[in-house]
Chains A and B, each alone.
Chain A
Amino acid sequence: MSNPLLEIKNLKTSFRIGEKYYAAVDDVSLNVNENEVLAIVGESGSGKSALAFSVMGLHNRAKIEGDIFFKGKNIANLPTKEMNKFRGNELSMIFQDPLTALNPLMEVGRQIDEVLILHKSNMPKSQRKKYIIELLERVEIPRPKHVYNQFPHELSGGMRQRVIIAIAIANQPELLIADEPTTALDVTIQAQILDLMRELKDDLNSGVVLITHDLGVVAEMADRVAVMYAGEIVEIADVDTLFNNPQHPYTRSLLSSIPLLDDAQDKLHVIHGIVPSLKHLPREGCRFSARIPWIEEDAHEEQPTLHEISPGHFVRCTCYKHFYFPDESKEDQNHDVAKS
């Protein structure tokens, strides 16, 4: 097999709170291949954005340990100047919050032009303008010639997000990291943007890291899925396996909390408790056990680690074997496991 496009090895990203550093991403290892969409899912506070920012080298005061190989080169802790050669070019990111990612004082067209100039300085101005208008068309912005001269605040949230996407794909990146790219958009526009990302992947053979909490989007887009909780990967599998044979209690809880379109369940599953804050993350033993309090103490592992239970399907710890939802009896559950 060829080398992965992106290879993250034992990444630990820690933030300083008071005197101490606390890891928001804790020993995460992941690969993304060319022409592959890897989705990362998990509740907010799980560490998804912290992970993305680490890859992009955008944290300014975090401690980053471990390795991040992009096309074989270790880019972890690379000086800004060197990182800038990659960023916005081979490596680019769509941010969650369109308002903070755009310069409020600059016209949309000029903002896109800036990224172009940075990496394609030999393209003449008139050609760049034509290209930018095409880009705006591709992200389904109506009246692109007009929008070219508008300021971010004159656009709706959905339009701004599309501008961000245009900037991110302007230089046809080899790796695109998209942090909740469509969360603020209407479904019809979301569908178009997802198609666009898919096209980009197919045309350019790009790798995509898609961070989202929308499991429908994951099902439609991802080749593989990593489920993240409290800074750790708790399960990773190809998309069919993850939806049809999820194992970790957290994955199963997430899946049962979404309103399914097929059958109107009466009650949605509610995951007990909340994602602990960084300072209060349990660092010893199991991180998720507090959110499934009905499971007996002795069912949990002392040091849950990832196990490969079938090729490419990794699940943290073994207590998924004992897990059941409070409204199903334990016997049912054991029966199911025996069957599968």
Chain B
Amino acid sequence: MTLLKVNDLKVHFPIRGGILNRKIDAIRAVDGVNFEIRQGETYGLVGESGSGKTTTGKAVMGLNNITDGEIYFENELLNKGSKVNIRRDIQMIFQDPYSSLNPRKRVFDIIAEPIRNYEKLSKQEEKRRVQELLSQVGLSPESILKYPHEFSGGQRQRIGVARAIALKPKLIIMDEPVSALDVSVQAQVLNFMQELQEELNLTYLFISHDLGVVKHMCDRIGIMYNGRYVEEGTKEEIFNDPQHIYTKRLVAAIPDIDPKRRQDNFKFREQVKDEFTNSYNDYFDEDGLAYQLKPITDTHRVALPERG
């Protein structure tokens, strides 16, 4: 079943200038993006910084106005023109557990806040709910009186998760959720996200620039470049059979854990880089934008050159 459908989404930010501060141009942060996420899957959104991943996530969350397109959640249109409805069953977790939690609030209020926006609970009930949520993310119930700085990075990310699941969402958008964490803590958070997904029957939109993590977590993956999709496919298609020169370059750039393959990787990377440079003008238009996606299998779509 399709949970989320994003249809030709565009998000442009005006660039203002001149004495009158008029709109003189626009940053096309997201420029015609289409994808669907099925109930229960983990969908990866990958691309270099500035490619439009966060803007896409925020648009779905209703945190950005959109310029064009439609967003459907459970077949219901979420946007009315440029305004996207905020829904309690879509939640977002941000990259930086250090700055995404209000440092002046206690854990109790941080987690209770979304609940208060939607439900009227007595103080007692509220406390019980928050403690339940804390134990669900593996933090002790006594944590409610503490402040974010009293926790480690991994624990803070768990507080963010507790807050995100407080309203029993169906879709969680995770924007670089482990990028700021140590490998060992990262492992903890990733395992825990997978457990939680099973337990609560969640669907994830997983945004990341770390392809190792994406490969570990995701079922299907979309690759963004400069506000557009260049490729979408199953994990196997993207990693074993990348078709777009940008995807190839991205996959080739992943550091390999086997030191013995170092020389080969290095040569291969050079080769792919040359291919990227030489065929850039075939794969991108005059503005450096990718072409429309064309299906090459049932699950694999690629922004192949328009001509030829």
| Chain A residues engaging chain B, CB cutoff 8 angstroms | 43-44, 156-158, 186-191, 194-195, 213-217, 219-220, 222, 239-240, 243, 253-254, 257-262, 264-265, 267-271, 274
Contacts and interface: CB of A to CB of B under 8 A. Distances in A.
B20 to A, nearest CB: 23
A265 B187 CA distance: 12
A129 to B, nearest CB: 27
Contacts of B269: 191, 195
Contacts of A267: 191
Contacts of A264: 215-216
Interface in B253-279: 253-260, 262, 265-266, 269
Given A186-B48, A216-B254, A259 B213 contact: yes
A157 B259 contact: no
A261 B240 CA distance: 11
B184 A270 contact: yes
A240 B259 CA distance: 6
B14 interface: no
A258 B257 contact: yes
Interface in B165-193: 182-188, 190-191
A254 B183 CA distance: 8
Interface residues of B, number: 37
B184 A257 contact: yes
Given A43-B183, A157-B49, A270 B255 contact: no
A188 B183 contact: no
B184 A188 contact: no
A265 B194 CA distance: 12
Nearest to A255: B257
B250 interface: yes
B103 interface: no
B50 interface: yes
Contacts of B215: 259, 261, 264
A220 B212 CA distance: 15
A264 B188 CA distance: 16
B187 A186 contact: no
B112 to A, nearest CB: 27
Given A187-B254, A254-B183, A267-B191, 17 more contacts: A43-B183, A43-B184, A44-B182, A186-B49, A186-B209, A187-B255, A188-B253, A191-B269, A217-B255, A220-B265, A243-B258, A257-B187, A259-B217, A261-B212, A261-B239, A265-B216, A268-B191
Nearest to B50: A156
A338 B182 CA distance: 33
B182 A187 contact: no
Given A213-B182, A261-B215, A268-B216, A219 B258 contact: yes
A141 to B, nearest CB: 14
A267 B190 CA distance: 9
Q: Which of B187, B211, B253, B259 has the most chain A CB within a 10 Å cutoff? A: B259
B10 interface: no
B50 to A, nearest CB: 7
A239 B261 CA distance: 12
A269 B262 CA distance: 25
Given A188-B249, A264-B215, A270-B184, A240 B260 contact: yes
Nearest to B181: A44
